[in-house]
Amino acid sequence: MKKISLFIAMSLDGYIADSKGSVDWMVGQGEDDNMDSYFGFVKDIDTVIMGWNTYHQIITELSPKEWVYSDFTTYVVTHRRKTSSDKIHFTNKDPVELLKKLREERGKGIWICGGANLIQQLVKEDAIDYYHITVIPTILGSGIRLFEKAGHEIKLRLLKTQSHNGMTDLIYAKRSYLDPST
């Protein structure tokens, strides 16, 4: 079965975007643009899931000239009717049901890329196996929160930490995913 991983960055105070929805503050404290954690993560991924707002931000602001996830099959969860391509599939399926279907397929892992609404639905349903969270050395004070009320506790096990350029990667696994008896 494919593992489902959230890989995302957040401010020290828990926001994934500022109050205008911007992510231009997601930089370290210096000039080092070390991408080792990203490249280490994506080597085990073949599928990306994201919501409409994340998709729209990528194609209009972050990378309007080229699709940055061309090495993966992407599913955009949206109620908008858009035409799918070989690599980008627009779907209005329930994200939990979509993940159940994709988890059974052959291949590598599934990356939950964003945004907050999609992530919060999946956390609420306890559908994420691994949490790769990079803490950016910035306090925003307001914006779009990564985690809201899940309605229940999810116990995690810290697998690894690493720091680069003032940013800290925290890698957790759901305890029940590692050992169903915990």
User: Can you give the pTM of this predicted structure?
Assistant: 0.92
Question: Bridge partners of 77?
Answer: 51, 91
For residue 181, the model assigns a pLDDT of 56
For residue 179, the model assigns a pLDDT of 65
With contact defined as beta carbons under 8 Å apart, do 116 and 147 qualify?
no
Q: How confident is the model over 135-168, as pLDDT tens digits?
A: 999 999 999 999 987 788 999 999 999 999 999 9
Which helix (H) or strand (E) segment holds residue 56: the answer is helix 52-57
CA distance 3 to 102: 10
Helix (H, G, I), strand (E, B) or coil at 175: helix
Q: Which residues of the chain have pLDDT under 50?
A: none
Name the DSSP letter for residue 24: T
With contact defined as beta carbons under 8 Å apart, do 126 and 174 qualify?
yes
Rg (CA), the chain: 16
